[in-house]
A and B are shown apart, each in its own frame.
Chain A
Amino acid sequence: MSGTSTSSGGRPASEPVDWTVVLEVQQFLFSEARLLDACRYQEWLALLTDDVHYWMPVIENTLGRGAPHRFSPDRLAFFDDNLKSLRRRVDKLTNRTAWTENPPTRQCHVISNVEVEPAERGDELTAHSVFVHNRGMGERDEFTLVGRREDVLRRTEEGLRLAKRLVIIDQHVLLARNLNVFF
């Protein structure tokens, strides 16, 4: 099994993207993170395209050399969502009987290492970033997850929108009791 990332594999982007675009993408990712930190999920949903694919595969622990993060679309995942299922997740999290959210979950996304590349489609950009996600629950539960994201952002009349997100974490066994958040 191998990753299906379209990443340029550590090489700098072949065609540099204009700095104003890089800043625009950074601003989008930072704002998006702030919405998630505040659990403003309906506003977050509005930043997604109708055909969004949100995918966080299970990272496999296998022998051999080659790419260290091993995953494949035909294997089980932590998230494998379209807009319909993401809306349902938000409906669940915002329902007054969502027991995990009462007391509310506190979270912070630290977004860094943003790189922007042209994507296959002319109206899209590929954005690489890393995240440190910290989550506090109840009196003293804390979960930290670090990972890398590969996004496809599409330029629309309303501005940039997220069309695809691949979330790649370093853990094989997820060291947390649940994932009541988005990355």
Chain B
Amino acid sequence: MKSITRKKKTTGLKKRESLTGYLFVSPWIIGALMFLIIPLGQSFYYSLCNVKVSPKGRRYDFVDFKNYTDLFRLDVGFIENMLRYLLNTLISVPVIVVFALIIAMLLNNRMKGKGFFRTIYFLPVIVVSGPVMIQLADQGATSIPAMNVSGITRVLSTYLPRFMVEPIANLFNNMILILWYSGVQILIFLAVLQKIDNSLYEAAKIDGGSAWECFWKITLPIIKPMILLTTIYTVIYVSGNEQNVIINSIYNDMFAVNRGYGFASAKAWLYSVVVVAIVAFFTVVLRNRDTYQAEIKRFEKMEAKKEKERRKLLKRQTRRSGKWVVGVFRK
């Protein structure tokens, strides 16, 4: 009886806590459901359909996965664009994140005019989106004129296979663009770096740690979760902005006569699968492998295994002894 009432009490508390939880999330759930989740589901349904818009209304003819197969059969540039996007993203995202980290660490130093520099490094974020960017790219302002890209390409092509050369050369070509993309990341890194306790570094210094060691043993482990965050953010930003070739082609297909909305949705879904794959890749690479935590987990696992074995033995023993006892009684 006692145990029952106690159980009821805890569930009541839990219920109340979960109620406040739902209360806090509900505005977001409603907003996301209406304008994000339901449209996403609908667009998946449309991607399986042949959507025709006529004066009488819209007609959806279910065609199974025809749109998806058409993507590979009919759209000539699609696979090529996708591969190029994949390579470019895999190469440029680490560069952006590392650059942002370096700048953030430099800005975190003691120096005059820090706020001024911080502002400047974040400024491109508010410019890069939108039509200004397209104008700038047209004017050739995104590449450093002094940098001799063809020379770099020649050197690279002697060492690397051909499909690798192009994205790397592209990287050098759009160096400024990469600098511009790293505003938010710098801000995030700065926020975390400022939170690191100074006494940690002091302690390390007393123990004879160099700045290099301090970086690898103190700074990096602390900011690791934020590195993952910025990496994911960068992937999404690079994949979703207006300069992306595939986004533009989706937009064009939507209003094209022979393609239509179903085709565009299929493309969008396939594209987002690729983006998810990239994010998953980076997550696996950067997942938090805290040595202490891993050790504790391994220990716990071992304990659990031992406990299980012990229980098994105990069970067997009692069973055996029980049998024996029963046997005794029978006798």
Partners in one complex: no
